[in-house]
Amino acid sequence: MNMNHDNSDCVCLHSRRSTIAVLARQGEPLRLVHLGQRIDEPYLFEGQEYPELYPSVGIDMHRQDAFCISDPRTSERIPVQLLVAQVHNREDSLCLLLEDRDVGVSLSLQIHSFRASDLFSFQLSITNEADDPLVLEYASSLFLPLPFKTGTVTSFSGRWASEMHMHHTVLQTGTFSLAEQCGVRTTRYTNPSVIIGEGDRPAAEYSGTCIGAAVAHSGNYSIEIHAEAESQMLLRIAEPRMTSRRELQAGKTHTCPLVLLSHSDEGMTGLTHSFHSWAREEGLRDGKRERLTVLNSWEAAYFDFNEKTLKGLIDRAAECGIELFVLDDGWFGELYPRDDDSSSLGDWEVNPRKLPNGLCGLSEYCREKGLGFGLWVEPEMISRASRLYERHPEWVFASDRLVATEERNQLLLDLSRREVIAFIKEVFSSLLVPENGISYIKWDCNRHVHSLSGPPEVLEGYIRGYYEILSWLESSYPLVTIQNCASGGGRVEYGALSRTHEFWTSDCTDAHNRIYMQWGSSHFYPPYVAASHVSSTPNHITGRSIPMKFRCDVAMAGRMGIEMDPAGATDRELAILKQAVSDYKSIRHILTEGDFYRLCSPYGNEYTASMFSTEREAVLFIYCIDYRPGDWRAPLRLRGLLDDTTYRIRELNRTDSERHMMNLSKRMTADGASFRGEVLRIEGLPIAFSGQYESRVYHLY
Ligand code: GLA
């Protein structure tokens, strides 16, 4: 091989452990040289055909293309040959401008490296440089040849009350595709994230090569992975073709949704650490701040409450050591009181029949009891039975005016309209006055857009409006925490999360079901912002009965809260609940700062386990979900500990009453023991259960 060959057009962008290298020769197509493990000086092999990045329809023999432009008069597709025109390479970013001067199209690609987190972001814009309009049929945010011959795709999907279940698909040839066209609540069925492991098995937890990508956008998306007859793979993230066609006027630019990407040679855990670290640093509001414990009124009271009953609930929240009381749906509507879900959305003033002293009466009471006060609002919605609808039927989102589709008896407001944005800001301005003492908003969104919803520009305008209001809230009320809720996990993506503080994982609060959802969402989204509430038993959605300790132990692995009236608990359950809230506060800094490790999957196993580790401390969660009698179990090997450090173990959530009642033999708990990190890593911690829904939470320090 030629040792003095010309490497000068090979441009690299590094993160701590990975490198993206492209061949960016002036006047030639942009090509990918390397995506993977960090390499300081990639070698350009002579005669090697490096794959083109962002090829258009009609150019060469490409079987897949990144974008397509057509002529608005004839609908003919126009081949576009983009050639490198400018390259700006800085330590943490790479900006490339590609042009086809004959057609009059340019493409700007910005790749940013978040070095410490080992994560790259991709932002792509296409500009019509011609004198006449063009049609952009579709464009890809990311079009990335992958360094794998075959791969296994891991994705997360589900439905209402059953979000984020993990699925694996081996892809040797053909296409795997995920898409969402719900317009505004785009993680309801399928999360916009994917992991591709090299080879014909899912990426392992701690070893092996994989790539993880997530779309940071609250609108429609499609993720496709193509495998070409065991020769190469390709990842394409784009707007779905059905909703992406738009006219691009002369001089106009279309910017595609931001995509986040990470490469790991340390299995799925490597990816998880990258995404969690990026979320703490960049991807969440106040990402390093510990989240408060919450009692949310929904499952405790639904629509049936008044000031007196809520004060009782606040008393009991305070007794449990909770830090924030959140008043959910049902507090508003004067002419159309919100007593069920058939009316009132849009009329965001207090119902005086239920709350004669207004919101300030309640917030004042919370303050006396040492609690913060939060409020549920669904600002994007309008009910036909509302004063707002009487005044502004024209504010309803376009397609609903045409086809009158209702979901949960409600319609969407058109957030692409300035007057609607102004109205929603006014609503918040009047709610967030100092006397109301509101420090937390639960922003809900209980319906999505019908698939017939007009041109993509309207939806884009909607998402821009949604983001504008969230940014305005951030700058005008920086101390107000925002929970991102959309019938549960309908907006668990980094477009919404980067403008909010936490998310409501699911309307299903059954601890058994939550284990799977929390497991799934932990791959890309940090557990300390996944709201996880202890609810009553039998569970309101599944009817399943689960002991209080297990319910608490599951809630403690996320942002802990309560979703029930503690008055419904027995004395013993109440003692466990109080203990759990107090124990949670003593370890939540570990959840916030620590690295998360999935130790044993809930899929197909008797028990599941995970842990968070900081340099000095750790917290370990073990849940038996499918008890299989037998004495011996392989010890559980722990992660993230320092070999030479001795850790003491304190079992959390163990009340004295429980100790006596269970009369467990000593080997059932590690409470009080001390072990070196190396022992816990190599030999592991002995595990024992005596039945389903037994659980352990250990603090190691
Ligand atoms: C949605 C939310 C719930 C609750 C109800 C209120 O379903 O996900 O938590 O707020 O709305 O109507």
DSSP code string of 529-569: GEEEEE--SS-TTT-----HHHHHHHHTTSEEEE-S-GGGS
Residue with CA closest to ligand 1 atom 7: 487
Residue with CA closest to ligand 1 atom 12: 329
Residue with CA closest to ligand 1 atom 8: 487
**Catalytic choice (444, 553, 565, 583):** 444
Q: Given this model, what pLDDT does residue 449 score?
A: 85
Distance 661 CA to ligand 1 centre (A): 37
Distance 487 CA to ligand 1 centre (A): 6
Q: Is 659 helix (H, G, I), strand (E, B) or coil?
A: helix
What is the rounded CA–CA span in Å between residue 456 and residue 454?
A: 7
CB neighbours of 175 closer than 8 A, spacing ≥ 6?
224, 225, 226, 227
Say if residues 422 and 356 touch (Cβ distance below 8 Å). Answer: no
Residue with CA closest to ligand 1 atom 4: 298
**Each residue's pLDDT tens digit, 436-465:** 999 999 999 999 887 555 678 888 999 999
What is the rounded CA–CA span in Å between residue 298 and residue 483?
A: 14
Distance 404 CA to ligand 1 centre (A): 23
Among 237-246, 546-555, 632-641, name the one with the lowest average pLDDT: 237-246
**Each residue's pLDDT tens digit, 479-498:** 999 999 999 999 999 999 99
Taking residues 693-699, what's their average pLDDT?
Answer: 96
What is the rounded CA–CA span in Å between residue 355 and residue 108?
A: 54
Q: Of 299, 314, 326, 346, which Cα lies nearest the Cα of 537?
A: 299
What is the rounded CA–CA span in Å between residue 149 and residue 469?
A: 45
Say if residues 469 and 424 touch (Cβ distance below 8 Å). Answer: yes
Q: Is 166 helix (H, G, I), strand (E, B) or coil?
A: strand
Q: Best mutation site among 343, 485, 563, 564 for ligand 1, i.e. most ligand atoms within 8 A of its Cβ?
A: 485
Say if residues 108 and 95 touch (Cβ distance below 8 Å). Answer: yes
**Catalytic choice (414, 507, 553, 595):** 507
Residue 288 has pLDDT above 80, yes or no: yes
Q: Given this model, what pLDDT does residue 63 score?
A: 74
Q: Given this model, what pLDDT does residue 232 score?
A: 85
Distance 532 CA to ligand 1 centre (A): 14
Label residue 355 left, alpha or beta by phi (over 0 means left) and psi (-120 to 50 means alpha): beta
The residue with greater pLDDT, 570 or 449, is 570
Q: Given this model, what pLDDT does residue 664 score?
A: 47
Residue with CA closest to ligand 1 atom 6: 329
Atom of ligand 1 nearest to the CA of 488: 8
Residue type, 559: R
Please say if 571 is a catalytic residue. no
Distance 25 CA to ligand 1 centre (A): 54
Please say if 507 is a catalytic residue. yes
Residue type, 543: G
Q: What is the pTM of this model?
A: 0.97
Confidence grade of residue 668 (pLDDT, cut at 50, 70, 90): low
CB neighbours of 594 closer than 8 A, spacing ≥ 6?
612, 613, 614, 617, 618, 619, 640
Distance 563 CA to ligand 1 centre (A): 11
Among 53-57, 417-421, 537-541, name the one with the lowest average pLDDT: 53-57
Q: Given this model, what pLDDT does residue 61 score?
A: 65
Mean pLDDT of the chain: 94
Taking residues 592-606, what's their average pLDDT?
Answer: 98
Lookup: tokens for 472: 């305005």
191 phi/psi in degrees, rounded to 5 = -80, 140
Q: Best mutation site among 296, 299, 303, 328 for ligand 1, i.e. most ligand atoms within 8 A of its Cβ?
A: 328
Taking residues 53-76, what's their average pLDDT?
Answer: 87
Of 449-458, 577-586, 665-674, which has the strongest mean pLDDT? 577-586
Residue with CA closest to ligand 1 atom 11: 487
Residue with CA closest to ligand 1 atom 1: 487
Percentage of residues in the chain having pLDDT higher than 90? 86
Taking residues 114-123, what's their average pLDDT?
Answer: 97
Element (H, E) at 111: strand 105-114
CB burial of residue 83 (10 Å; 0-12, 13-18, 19+): middle
Strand blocks (E) in 505-660: 530-534, 559-562, 595-600, 607-613, 618-624, 646-652
Taking residues 107-133, what's their average pLDDT?
Answer: 97
Residues with CB under 6 A from ligand 1: 298, 328-329, 376, 444, 446, 485, 487-488, 504, 507
Distance 185 CA to ligand 1 centre (A): 14
The residue with greater pLDDT, 146 or 655, is 146
Q: Given this model, what pLDDT does residue 521 score?
A: 98
Confidence grade of residue 242 (pLDDT, cut at 50, 70, 90): confident
What is the rounded CA–CA span in Å between residue 629 and residue 611?
A: 25
Confidence grade of residue 660 (pLDDT, cut at 50, 70, 90): very low
Distance 416 CA to ligand 1 centre (A): 24
Say if residues 165 and 157 touch (Cβ distance below 8 Å). Answer: yes
**What's the residue count for the chain?**
701
657 phi/psi in degrees, rounded to 5 = -60, -40
Lookup: tokens for 489: 């996990």
Cβ-based neighbour number of residue 422 at 10 Å: 11
Q: Best mutation site among 507, 517, 541 for ligand 1, i.e. most ligand atoms within 8 A of its Cβ?
A: 507
What is the rounded CA–CA span in Å between residue 108 and residue 44?
A: 24
Q: Best mutation site among 329, 340, 506 for ligand 1, i.e. most ligand atoms within 8 A of its Cβ?
A: 329
Bridge partners for 695 per DSSP: 623
Residue 680 has pLDDT above 80, yes or no: yes
Give how far Cα 121 sits from Cα of 87, 109, 466, 529, Å.
17, 10, 22, 22
Taking residues 613-636, what's their average pLDDT?
Answer: 94
Atom of ligand 1 nearest to the CA of 442: 10
Q: Is 524 helix (H, G, I), strand (E, B) or coil?
A: coil
Q: Given this model, what pLDDT does residue 451 score?
A: 58
Residue 43 has pLDDT above 90, yes or no: yes
Lookup: tokens for 393: 């039927």
Residue with CA closest to ligand 1 atom 9: 507
Residue 562 has pLDDT above 70, yes or no: yes
Taking residues 585-591, what's their average pLDDT?
Answer: 98
What is the rounded CA–CA span in Å between residue 302 and residue 327?
A: 10
